[in-house]
């Protein structure tokens, strides 16, 4: 069975669904392919801090009603090291804020709106393969319900994550990966309890990193860093809560409500960028092209900025036959990607204690936090990166 469309999007996470909705709003025909079931897609627990680049796209689509009703606007966040709490006042320093609204909720909003907006999403598409991406007539093959299918298109957009087939379709002679794998992971616990603080707290404690965050005023998300050798079954809920209370300090611990976990996992940390983000008629977006450690809250937001640039490029092509817009997509997206990678990398280095660090490295962290605490200029740099650089 063969289908024809303008754009095939691989991956029905937030990046793929956002792009699909934006293209349909511009009158561009597209189809989204997803390997998993809708329930599986919604079961993935991911980031919850949104820059305006993400919230603005939802507003542009007119899909922001639930986000505005349930999302929490945050005017600042906190850095702590056991000795002090340094508040970064985002609103005062930049005039902007961030919103806490789970990636799962963004995905649900986009998924629910797809049928009414004419966005076709094909779930449980197996054995997806990309063909003839160097030319002007690429196509996708996949199987579903035991039947082979083919979709011909002008462009393919790979929004299929780090392990998807899109990036792998770019020849080694063309693509170049840049990677830093960190020697720890984040053990996360999600619980239906009120948060311990009304703003996020990032803590660098002698026992390790901790983060107090939230999904709502009734659901909290906490993290601690652990060696990559740790197993989640060795961390019962009580052990996690006890460790959080130590690392976050007495003030945060006093406001912490314990409860049974509804999700626990250990996520390894890496910084990864693949260049270029375009090869022939294939464009990459989101985790297919880059991974950031979650310290800077940039994963979903970088995907949203990719989608912003990619929609503009595709719209220029289909409306005005502007091939230069397509050619310029990778450089434009990567310029913002690398700046966000730098921020996430620097914040990760500041707030974590690495196995090979000694007294000198710790003194450097203390000096950096001293500088941040006493310098409006330093706080401004952190704030403008945290709320998101311009697109």
Please state, rounded to an integer, the average pLDDT across all residues of the chain. Answer: 96
Residue 277: what pLDDT?
Answer: 98
- According to DSSP, the residues that pair with 88 across neighbouring strands are 77
Q: pLDDT at position 145, please?
A: 87
- Sorted by where each begins, the domain ranges of the chain are 2-72+101-179+270-347
In the numeric block, the tokens 């005005």 are attached to 320
| Per-residue model confidence as pLDDT tens digits over 129-182 | 999 999 999 999 999 988 999 999 999 999 999 999 999 999 999 999 999 999
For 304-327, write each residue's pLDDT tens digit. Answer: 999 999 999 999 999 999 999 999
Instruction: Choose among 130, 135, 67: nearest CA to 99.
Output: 67
Helices (H) and strands (E) in the chain, counts: 14, 21
What proportion of the chain, given as a percentage, has pLDDT over 90?
A: 95
Q: pLDDT tens for residues 246-296? A: 999 999 999 999 999 999 999 999 999 999 999 999 999 999 999 999 999
Contact present, 32 and 13 (Cβ < 8 Å): no
pLDDT at position 342, please?
97
- For domain 2-72+101-179+270-347, the question of CATH label 3.50.50.60 is answered with yes
Region of 320 (left: φ > 0; alpha: ψ -120 to 50; beta: rest) is alpha
If one counts every other C-beta atom within 10 angstroms of the C-beta of residue 245, the result is: 17
Q: What is the pLDDT of residue 84?
A: 87
Q: Which residues are catalytic?
A: 74, 202, 294, 298, 386
Phi–psi pair at 21, nearest 5 degrees: -65, -40
| CA nearest neighbour of 23 among 283, 291, 280 | 283
Give the relative orientation of helices 52-61 and 14-25 as an angle to the nearest 10 degrees: 40
Residue 90 pLDDT > 90: yes
> pLDDT > 70: what percent of the chain?
100
pLDDT tens digits along 26-49: 999 999 999 999 999 998 767 789
Structure confidence at residue 1 as a pLDDT band (50, 70, 90): confident
What span, in angstroms and rounded, lies between the C-alpha atoms of 80 and 112? 39
State the pLDDT at residue 345.
97
pLDDT tens profile 178-212: 999 999 999 999 999 999 999 999 999 999 999 99
């Amino acid at each position: 069975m063969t289908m024809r469309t303008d754009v095939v999007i691989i991956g029905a996470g937030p990046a793929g669904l956002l792009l699909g909705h934006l293209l349909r709003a511009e009158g561009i025909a597209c189809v989204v392919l997803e390997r998993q079931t809708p329930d599986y897609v919604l079961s993935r627990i991911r980031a919850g801090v949104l820059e305006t680049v993400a919230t603005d796209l939802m507003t542009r689509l007119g899909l922001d009603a639930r986000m505005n009703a349930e999302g929490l606007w945050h005017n600042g966040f906190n850095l702590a090291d056991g000795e002090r709490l340094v508040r970064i006042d985002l609103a005062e320093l930049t005039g902007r804020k961030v919103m806490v609204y789970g990636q799962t909720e963004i995905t649900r909003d986009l998924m629910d709106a797809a049928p009414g907006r004419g966005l076709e999403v094909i779930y449980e598409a197996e054995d997806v393969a990309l063909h003839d991406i160097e030319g002007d007539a690429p196509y996708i093959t996949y199987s579903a319900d035991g039947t082979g299918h083919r979709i011909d298109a002008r462009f393919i957009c790979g929004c299929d994550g780090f392990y998807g087939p899109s990036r792998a379709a770019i020849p080694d002679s063309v693509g170049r990966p840049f990677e830093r794998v960190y020697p720890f992971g984040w053990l996360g616990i999600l619980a239906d309890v009120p948060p311990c603080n009304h703003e996020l707290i990032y803590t660098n404690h002698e026992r390790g990193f901790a983060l107090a965050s939230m999904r709502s005023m009734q659901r909290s998300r906490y993290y601690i860093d652990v060696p990559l050798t740790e197993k989640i079954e060795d961390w019962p809920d009580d052990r996690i809560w006890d460790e959080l209370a130590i690392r976050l300090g007495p003030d945060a611990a006093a406001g912490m409500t314990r409860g049974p976990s509804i999700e626990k996992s250990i996520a390894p940390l890496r910084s990864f960028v693949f260049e270029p983000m375009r090869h022939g008629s294939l464009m990459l977006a989101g985790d297919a092209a880059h991974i950031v450690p979650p310290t800077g809250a940039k994963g979903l937001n970088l995907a949203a900025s990719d989608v912003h640039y990619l929609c503009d490029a595709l719209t220029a092509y289909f409306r005005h036959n502007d091939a230069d817009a397509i050619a310029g997509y990778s450089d434009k997206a990567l310029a913002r990607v690398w700046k966000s990678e730098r921020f996430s990398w620097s914040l990760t280095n500041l707030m974590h204690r690495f196995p090979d660090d000694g007294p000198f490295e710790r003194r450097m962290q203390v000096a950096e936090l001293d500088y941040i605490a006493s310098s409006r200029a330093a706080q401004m740099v952190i704030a403008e990166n945290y709320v998101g650089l311009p697109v």
